[in-house]
Structure 1
Amino acid sequence: MGSDTIPLLTPYKMGNFDLSHRIVLAPLTRQRSFNSIPQQHAILYYSQRASKGGLLIAEATGVSDTAQGYPNTPGIWTKEQVEAWKPIVDAVHEKGGVFFCQIWHVGRVSNYEFQPNGQPPISCTDKPVAPQVRANGIDVAKFAPPRRLATEEIPLIVNNFRVAARNAIEAGFDGVEIHGAHGYLIDQFLKDQVNDRTDKYGGSLENRCRFALEIVEAIVNEIGADKVGIRLSPYANYMESGDSNPDALGLYMVNSLNKFGILYCHVVEPRMVKVGEKVETPHNLLPMRNAFRGTFIVAEGYNREEGNKAISSGYADLVAYGRVFLANPDLPRSLSYMVRKMLQLI
């Protein structure tokens, strides 16, 4: 028996990419990109977590100056930002890693201080998010009432995503992951708890998914479907973005994504309804997994045993890890070493 019998350590062909293992670095917001410009210390952070044939997904990266909702998160809408990303991407490639840039817009999860000229944040709605206790359990985040986007403005936001994807490729990234999860702008359009529009972007499931799919189509046309992934969280209720029928939402989205032939779909487990909070649930991602024709990545709350089971059972192709990857920068190698030591004791 060798480490190649451990499911998480088996190779996988993801489109044009030959991955040496199934462990993915999840996108983790770091808030260390001063003035929205990636800093040199990110070279160390990402290169430490890079491995030959390992997939890394960069922290959420803003597509425009209205996309920000947290201090010091990176952007990719200016030439300066693109140039700042280049040595970081190069460092990952020098280690043999595959690097995707997660592109996002926070929508209403923002306030005046993060918006150009102190304007209101934008969303599909004018309903504000209630104050939220931050992850430290102490501080409270407050959000400004958003401005509802006019129908004719929405193509401009779609174009922001398209340009951001093009910029990511210019910076050297292997592809992009569209952030359509966790209560941010795309998720705000998707979820009926938030989306109260009466135009072609609201109401029916098809209409609520239109914005997300227009973004996917624009990016596929710009950089190619083989370089595009998306992250979804149909079951989550982050930032007051829940949905009355997440099963239908998830299935409609993956079936629609199949029409574009994108590389992967990265989905948050139903048990993670809110940040850091596991719950018992009758739902699972198997229907989405079975319907989607590309690579299927699962995330949130996985330990080693659960990750191995997800791969061996066919529930997922890849498993994304966050906290454990933060604590163990060489996670794939550490797991391989641990397995070898365990086998020596048998």
Structure 2
Amino acid sequence: MTAGLEQSNLFKPITIGKNTLDQRVAFAPTTRFRAADDHTPSDLMLQYYSDRAQAPGSLLITEATFISPRAGLYPNIPGIWNDKHVQGWKKITDAVHAKGSYMACQFWFLGRVGSPELLKKHGLDLISPSALYESEESKKAAEAAGNPVRALTEKEIKGIIYEDYKNAAINAMEAGFDYVEIHSAHGYMLDQFLQPATNQRTDNYGGSIENRARIVLEIIDLLSDTIGAEKLAIRLSPWIKFQGMKAEEDTVHPITTFSYVVNELQKRANDGKQLAYLSIVEPRVQALLDANWSDNVGSNDFIKKLWKGAILQTGNYTYDSPEFKGLKADVNGDDRTMIGFSRYFTSNPDL
């Protein structure tokens, strides 16, 4: 890397939870579909993550990982809900630790964008905060599979929190992970609860901002008590329009929704339960689509003003290589920011 990037904060140590990283370059979560058919991490995954841990003191975040069968069941996505999964991941975390680096397991729950066919095959329903489809196409697919989307009951929500997420967190620690990152972005289940476009409930988990954020904060509180807040992180994408999200076009502006969430996280930090880091997706990024710095629909500056802890920012930070003006501006803007890369890591395992 050129143009003075080597003198930036990017290559300075940073403390994340109770661990000190040697640099602020992180391997962002990148779905690869390389697990076995039973969702056990494979030897190919072992090689993949080991290759990307060559710079000691790095943070590697796993591809999104299912916390239970009802979380979605895309084919060949890794899981973390049984002993076989734990042992598969343990080989990987051991290899990463042997190279002096650290790993976070990203917890995934698909909600309405899960596979209706695969869920049906395993006797599971397509579930969401509300019985709303992403699109007419997804509605037709679900109906053709005989598995139409339905709204979760409050009892089921409690089960997801206190059974699925808690079990996965315990398993992640047994598997040797240093951190757990809760995926609450990109229009997946937890994001579906946060956003009015996908949450039209009228009970304790819908309606007001407090109710829509309830499941996220209950998971945060439970896992903070279970594994320690210093081992916990969460990913948010306030401006995403992927998978039916509406961002600034929603009935409640994303700054209003996500200011509440981040404020609540900071309150917990003030009370001694500081998360390891907060991961935020830049406004220019629309998940699988190419990002362009000219496509910004908003700004995450409001999050930086509210949150005082470590931050991981991701989203096309190599667009202006080799100048890296945007990257340097963000990583040098304070002393708590990490930058996540995905595509550079997929083609340059020794990045």
Q: Which residue of 2 aligns with 1:36?
A: 39
Equivalent in 187, 193, 196 of residue 191 of structure 2: 187
| Partner deviation per Cα, 1:244-277 (whole Å, 9 max, x = no partner) | 2111122111111121421111000111245324
Equivalent in 95, 103, 122 of residue 127 of structure 2: 122
1:68 CA displacement: 2.3
| Partner deviation per Cα, 1:11-67 (whole Å, 9 max, x = no partner) | 212231111111110111111112211101111100111121101001111111111
Give the whole-Å Cα distance in 2 for the aligned partners of 1:5 and 1:274: 30
Structure 2: runs of 5 or more not aligned = none
**C-alpha contact (below 8 Å) 2:105/2:177 kept by paired residues:** yes
Give the whole-Å Cα distance in 1 for the aligned partners of 2:205 and 2:27: 33
Q: Which residue of 2 aligns with 1:339?
A: none
1:316 CA displacement: 6.0
Matched, 1:301 2:316: yes
Give the whole-Å Cα distance in 2 for the aligned partners of 1:313 and 1:2: 15
Deviates more, 1:155-164 or 1:234-243: 234-243
Give the whole-Å Cα distance in 1 for the aligned partners of 2:128 and 2:185: 14
Matched, 1:290 2:305: yes
1:176 CA displacement: 0.3
| Partner deviation per Cα, 1:138-186 (whole Å, 9 max, x = no partner) | xxx9555312101121110002111101100000000100000111110
1:128 CA displacement: 1.6
Give 1:189's aligned amino acid: F
Equivalent in 10, 23, 31 of residue 8 of structure 1: 10
Give the whole-Å Cα distance in 2 for the aligned partners of 1:211 and 1:83: 29
Equivalent in 320, 328, 332 of residue 312 of structure 1: 332
Structure 1: runs of 5 or more not aligned = 134-140, 332-346
**C-alpha contact (below 8 Å) 1:4/1:10 kept by paired residues:** no
1:77-156 to 2 correspondences below 5 Å: 77-115=81-119, 117-130=122-135, 142-143=141-142, 145-156=148-159
1:147-296 to 2 correspondences below 5 Å: 147-159=150-162, 160-243=164-247, 244=250, 245-258=253-266, 259=268, 260-273=273-286, 275-278=288-291, 280-281=295-296, 283-296=298-311
Give the whole-Å Cα distance in 1 for the aligned partners of 2:342 and 2:20: 22
Give the whole-Å Cα distance in 2 for the aligned partners of 1:215 and 1:132: 32
Residues 322/249 of structure 1: CA separation in 2 closer, same or farther (3 Å cut): same
Give the whole-Å Cα distance in 1 for the aligned partners of 2:314 and 2:137: 23
TM-score (norm 2): 0.87
Q: Name the Cα RMSD after superposition.
A: 2.1
Q: Which residue of 1 aligns with 2:345?
A: 325
Count of residue pairs the alignment pairs up? 324
